[in-house]
Structure formats: C-alpha cells, structure tokens
C-alpha cells in the first residue's frame, strides 16, 4: 500500500574516541544495509567539503589557529548547513549513518575546558538522533592501536579528557558497544541495534530535536 512511502529513515549516530573503529564500522554498516535493500547514506561530521568545513579542516591540520569558542561554533555551523538536507533525506525514507555529530562537538570542546551547557546551546534545534551508538575503548587502548595522525586532537592526554566528557554526556538512550571486541562481533552487535531503530522509525516514530 501507500504506507511504505510515508515511513521515514532513521538518524543513526556513531560516536567514540579517535581509533575506536567508528569509520570502518560505518562503512560495514552501510554496505550491510544496502545489501538488504534499505535506502541508506553514510555521512560524517565535520563535513570538510563545505566552506565552513574547509576552515575546520585547516584548523585540525594545525594550519590555522582559532579561538576555542570560534571553532566550536564553526563545527556547529557545519551541522546547521546540512540540517535541511538531513531532514528531507530522512522524511523521504533514507536512513543516515552519521560518523560523529553534536556529541563530538560538546565532548571535544568541553575537554578544552569550555562549559558544557555553553557547548550544547548552539546545537539546540538540530535533529535529534534516533540512536547514538558509542564504541567504547579506553584512551590507552586506542593509543596502542597506533595510527594517530598528526591532527590537533590526536594526543593521549587530550583523548583522556574527551573520554571523561563523553561519560558526562551519555544517557540511558545511548547504546554502548565494546570496541575492543573482534571487528565482526562489533559489526554484528551494531547491526542488530540499528535494525531495531530503523524498524521503529519506519513505524512512525516522530522526528525530534536536540536536546531531548
């Protein structure tokens, strides 16, 4: 019937420290959902392709210096510039798998010492995820995986503070997966949690906004 066309996609967010395996899990999830015939796209923040995204990229590469609050607002603006497209994709039935979102924004900036409530404010009114999955790994174990690039935040001491901020931010709605499990096990757990959320959204769960 016509019911199916009305069902919306799910907004799925993956969060975690650098080297937790988020990015490879996002791509595995994408292909698995595609294979089972779902309309799905994989997004990431920062989206470095926009004008704002290029400023962020140069900041992360240490090619430019910006005030902590200024860069925080740019990360937020980078989400705002994608908000309407995000909403239309979801309403047209496409599920979005998003690698980092507002939680990274708050966790990383508050790890610098900025007030958490101040950090959350510019995110108010962005679309709320239907599901946040946190891939949990200790900062020490993440560092042992090697492959920290040379970007600004890829330092053990800073990642420890980010981990603390994430702990403050997480609530009962987050799903936590042990990111130190074998990659296939993480993938399987993730897929199960995500399928449940996709189903609920298809059944008419309304879209909502941050912060719930």
Q: What does each C-alpha distance from 111 to 69, 90, 141, 165, 177 come to in angstroms?
A: 12, 31, 19, 6, 22
Q: Within positions 33 to 62, which residues make up the interface with ligand 2DT, using CB under 6 A?
A: 45-46, 60
Strand partners, 96: 11, 41
Strand partners, 41: 96
CB closer to ligand 2DT, 141 vs 158? 158
Smallest gap from Cβ 48 to ligand 2DT, in A, equals 7
Residue 120 in the binding site for ligand 2DT (CB under 6 A): no
Strand partners, 136: 178
Among 43, 75, 134, 166, the residue binding ligand 2DT under the rule CB under 6 A is 75
Angle at 49 between CA 43 and CA 54, to 5 degrees: 125
Distant-in-sequence, close-in-space partners of 122: CB < 8 Å, separation ≥ 6: 72, 73, 76, 77
CB closer to ligand 2DT, 46 vs 129? 46
Among 40, 100, 119, 136, the residue binding ligand 2DT under the rule CB under 6 A is 100
Residue 119 in the binding site for ligand 2DT (CB under 6 A): no
Among 80, 148, 153, 174, the residue binding ligand 2DT under the rule CB under 6 A is 153
Residue 9 in the binding site for ligand 2DT (CB under 6 A): no
Q: With beta carbons less than 8 A apart as the criterion, state whether 76 and 20 touch.
A: no
Residue 105 in the binding site for ligand 2DT (CB under 6 A): yes
Q: Identify how many contiguous H helices and E strands the chain contains and give both numbers.
A: 10, 5
Residues that bind ligand 2DT (CB under 6 A): 45-46, 60, 75, 100, 104-105, 108, 153
């Amino acid at each position: 019937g016509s019911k199916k066309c009305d069902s919306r996609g799910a907004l799925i967010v993956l969060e975690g420290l650098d080297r937790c395996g988020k990015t490879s899990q996002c791509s595995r999830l994408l292909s698995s959902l595609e294979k089972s015939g779902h309309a799905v796209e994989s997004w990431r923040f920062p989206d470095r392709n926009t004008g704002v995204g290029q400023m962020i990229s140069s900041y992360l590469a240490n090619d430019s210096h910006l005030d902590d609050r200024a860069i925080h607002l740019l990360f937020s603006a980078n989400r705002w510039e994608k908000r309407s497209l995000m909403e239309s994709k979801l309403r047209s039935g496409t599920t979005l798998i998003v690698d980092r979102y507002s939680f990274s924004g708050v966790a990383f900036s508050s790890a610098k010492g900025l007030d958490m409530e101040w950090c959350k404010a510019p995110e108010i009114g962005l679309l709320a995820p239907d599901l946040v999955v946190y891939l949990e790994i200790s900062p020490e174990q993440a560092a042992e995986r090697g492959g920290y690039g040379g970007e600004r935040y890829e330092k053990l001491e800073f990642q420890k503070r980010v981990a603390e901020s994430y702990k403050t931010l997480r609530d009962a709605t987050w799903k936590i997966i042990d990111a130190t499990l074998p990659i296939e096990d993480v993938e399987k757990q993730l897929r199960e949690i995500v399928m449940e959320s996709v189903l609920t959204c298809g059944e008419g769960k309304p879209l909502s906004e941050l912060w719930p």
